[in-house]
Structure 1
Amino acid sequence: MRIIVVGAEGDVGRAVCKELGSRHELIRAGRSRGDVTVDIADPQSVAAMYTRTGMVDAVVSTAGEVHFGALCEFTRETFMIGLRNKVMGQINLVLGGFDHVAEGGSFTLTSGVLDRDPIPMGAGAATANGALGGFVVGAAIEMPRRQRINVVSPGLLDVSVPRYGAWFPGHEPVAAGRVGRAFAKSVEGALTGKVIIVG
């Protein structure tokens, strides 16, 4: 399969590429580097990416920015960071990709643990994660040309603990390999409309 991996340089993206790279042709995409560059918050940038890549069998998104901060200090604009980037950015990849993903192909998005196991200062991320789960469940019954859609919801990756572990007190890290295999289940399997929890 030809698979676009958006966010390939992040911790989750690297886990995906390690798992799928030996079996498939990967097109690595990122905001500033990769085989192609894309700003997922900009539908025109997403359209340009698909024009460059041509037809693919699957799209995997591990990208999306959110704001972390105390709830009482959140504003509409800081909430919108996650909604514009993590939520609508990944939705842009789906809406712009229908005609560029082969019949029977798939989209796999990424949410995260915080909508089911919250942390202080994580309300923005929890909101984005919950929205993505709802989108996938609703979109699955309307996907064209037998296309499938799922979202992987990983806990804190073991490789991310040195940078982010202090933000996740008491959370049990999940092995990056397990996260990579969850994406393989979505891409290579037959599931659709599922939130695939790893953690």
Structure 2
Amino acid sequence: MKALVIGATGSIGNVVATTLESRGHDVVRASRRGETSVDVTDPASIAALFAQVTDVDAVVVAVGSVPFKPLAELTRDDYLAGFTGKTLAQIDVVRQALAHLNDGGSITVTSGVLAREPIATGAAAAMANGALESFVITAAAEAPRGIRINAVSPDVLENSPGYHASFPGHRPVTDDEVGTAYVRAVEGVITGRILPV
């Protein structure tokens, strides 16, 4: 299977790409800065990526930028930045991938624990994650040509200790747990699912 992993230099994307490669898949690693480059906030850049990378069976998107501030300090622009940087960016990939994926392919986006568990300063991230998860449920029902759409929703990552203090009481998830969830989304038969890790 040929898989395109967008955000492959990040903490999650690298785990996904490495896991899929270990399972024998042909993985194309794309990121903002890399041999295969893409800026997911720019629809023209996404289009150029799909013009360059063809014959794809799976697309995984592990990107997203959201502001973290106390609720009373979040502005409309902060919410817009969170929606644009995490939600709309991944939706744009889904939108364009539908026309380029092989029949029966899969698209997996990345939300996060803040869609279901609150932390201080997490309101904008919760909004972005929740919107993305709601989109997946309905978009999967309408996807053409047997294409499956899912979201993986990880908790704070064990491989990112700098974030642990912001998630009190959370059990950081391992690379193996994260990789397994993406394998289920990419290789399995499920669609329209949110896979919490």
What residue number does 1:31 align with? 32
What residue number does 2:102 align with? 102
Q: How far apart, CA to CA, are the structure 2 residues paired with 1:147 and 1:103? A: 6
So what's the TM-score if we normalise by structure 2? Answer: 0.97
The runs of 4+ residues in structure 1 deviating greater than 6 Å are none
SS in structure 1 of the partner of residue 29 of structure 2: strand
Letter in 2 for 1:189: G
So what's the TM-score if we normalise by structure 1? Answer: 0.96
Q: How far apart, CA to CA, are the structure 2 residues paired with 1:81 and 1:177? A: 31
What residue number does 2:15 align with? 15
What residue number does 1:49 align with? 49
Q: How far apart, CA to CA, are the structure 2 residues paired with 1:31 and 1:79? A: 22
Q: How far apart, CA to CA, are the structure 2 residues paired with 1:169 and 1:49? A: 39
SS in structure 2 of the partner of residue 51 of structure 1: helix
What residue number does 2:189 align with? 190
Q: Which runs of 5+ in 1 are unaligned?
A: none
Q: How far apart, CA to CA, are the structure 1 residues paired with 2:56 and 2:40? A: 17
Q: How far apart, CA to CA, are the structure 1 residues paired with 2:12 and 2:153? A: 11
Q: How far apart, CA to CA, are the structure 1 residues paired with 2:130 and 2:146? A: 25
| Cα RMSD for the two superposed structures | 0.8
Q: Which runs of 5+ in 2 are unaligned?
A: none
Q: How far apart, CA to CA, are the structure 2 residues paired with 1:191 and 1:65? A: 27
SS in structure 1 of the partner of residue 142 of structure 2: coil
What residue number does 1:131 align with? 131
SS in structure 1 of the partner of residue 99 of structure 2: helix
% identity of equivalent residues: 46
